[in-house]
Structure 1
Amino acid sequence: MEANATGKTALYRLTVSAMLLALSVILGFFKIPLTQTSEIRLQFLPVAIEGALFGPLYGGILGGLSDILCFIVRPTGAFFPGFTVSAILQGVIYGVVLRRSQTVPRIIAAQTIDCILVSLILNPIWLMLLYGNAFIPIFVGRLPKVLIMFPINVILLSLVIGASRRFIRRPDR
């Protein structure tokens, strides 16, 4: 009987993960370019939900797969694995911080870590390597976008996680 329950849990995780992956790829198509090195995207939402539901391993896998599939479906230049590393790390961050509890302070903490580590440190490094620009101008160019999007992302993530609780149950509950 226990093997059957484990199989159902694995199938449930696979099904929810596949739906979130598809949603992440679809959201990856919609972006608002601000500058050559900065754009507004909502692709992080399904990755954050995956991390909150199933933990950092699943969040990281979904983040990486989403980045790769978005590139395969709609390439926008040469593939650069640094952004895949950023997407994996983003899923891990949300999984570590939001796995146990999805309170607003934890959502703020996850978004803060994501903004600082991924948006303001790693991604400017990748852009510096890609375009040959200095780090500081890229960092300064991205800072206003991050500061503006921070509260918007916190609100969106709070709303989406709250809504997802009604439709998606965690397998351990």
Structure 2
Amino acid sequence: MKQILNSVRLSAKELGSIRAITVCGMLLALRIVLSMFTIHITAILRISFSYLPIAAVGMIFGPVAGGVFGVAGDILGYFICPTGPYFPGFTLNAFLSGFVYGVFFYRKPVSLRRTFSAKALITFLISILLNPLWLSILYGKAFFAVVSARIVTNLVMFPIEATILHLLLKMIEKSRVTRLIRKNC
């Protein structure tokens, strides 16, 4: 718990730098573009890779920046390309995703175990529990009907998304981009 609080403190401090804001802005643009290329399977089931920039911000700038980035991406994405009514529950999901990625990866080495654990927590908490809750509230559908459809999709997508996430984070780690960005911050 102490380590998480320390990460939150460092992340909040780092978020105020010009470099952090600039890099987050560029990654925010990438997140918006990636969210526009979402594959819609049904009205409530979608496949997207917009989680990758969120994870990158969480890794580079920590849980506070990851959470703020998630919120900004969700709200800006809604105004640029709305896919339904605005619902604050999805904004909460975006914050939690960025925050969790920051907790798992900020100033820590990337490992398969850490990557799969972070993705599993986000998949379970957000994709399987919270998203169906928000969708059932928003559209009046039965919670368990929405959950059952999402479980199948997430079971198929989890290994694919976790592998892509691991490869991306390993590339960021090997490129040492975090050191370049943090230099003189």
Fold in common (TM above 0.5): yes
Distance in 2, matches of 1:172 and 1:52, equals: 16
User: SS where residue 101 of structure 1 aligns?
Assistant: coil
Give deviations 1:61-86, integer Å, cap 9, x for gaps.
Answer: 11110011111111122211111110
Closer/same/farther in 2, CA of residues 25 and 78 from structure 1, 3 Å limit: same
User: SS where residue 12 of structure 1 aligns?
Assistant: helix
Instruction: Specify the code of the residue in structure 2 equivalent to 1:140.
Output: S
Q: CA deviation at 1:48?
A: 0.5
Q: 2:178 aligns with which of 164, 169, 173?
A: 169
- Report what 2:152 is aligned to: 144
1:97–1:110: 8 Å Cα contact kept in structure 2? yes
1:52–1:102: 8 Å Cα contact kept in structure 2? no
Distance in 1, matches of 2:84 and 2:111, equals: 38
Closer/same/farther in 2, CA of residues 96 and 172 from structure 1, 3 Å limit: farther
Distance in 2, matches of 1:90 and 1:163, equals: 20
Q: CA deviation at 1:172?
A: 6.7
- Report what 2:109 is aligned to: 101
Distance in 2, matches of 1:42 and 1:167, equals: 23
Q: 2:34 aligns with which of 27, 35, 47?
A: 27
Give deviations 1:88-127, integer Å, cap 9, x for gaps.
Answer: 1010111111112221110000000000000000000000
Q: 1:74 aligns with which of 69, 81, 84?
A: 81
Distance in 2, matches of 1:76 and 1:139, equals: 20
Identity over aligned residues, as a percent? 37
Instruction: Specify the code of the residue in structure 2 equivalent to 1:111.
Output: K
User: SS where residue 41 of structure 2 aligns?
Assistant: strand
Q: Which runs of 5+ in 1 are unaligned?
A: 1-5
Distance in 1, matches of 2:183 and 2:154, equals: 34
- Report what 2:167 is aligned to: 159
User: SS where residue 18 of structure 2 aligns?
Assistant: helix
- Report what 2:95 is aligned to: 88
How high is the TM-score relative to the length of structure 1?
0.90
Distance in 2, matches of 1:87 and 1:49, equals: 14
How high is the TM-score relative to the length of structure 2?
0.85
- Report what 1:55 is aligned to: 62
Instruction: Specify the code of the residue in structure 2 equivalent to 1:133.
Output: K
Distance in 1, matches of 2:100 and 2:141, equals: 28
Q: 1:135 aligns with which of 139, 143, 153?
A: 143
Q: How many residues align?
A: 167
Q: Which runs of 5+ in 2 are unaligned?
A: 1-12
Distance in 1, matches of 2:145 and 2:153, equals: 14
User: SS where residue 40 of structure 2 aligns?
Assistant: strand
RMSD: 1.9
Give deviations 1:132-157, integer Å, cap 9, x for gaps.
Answer: 11111000011111011111111111
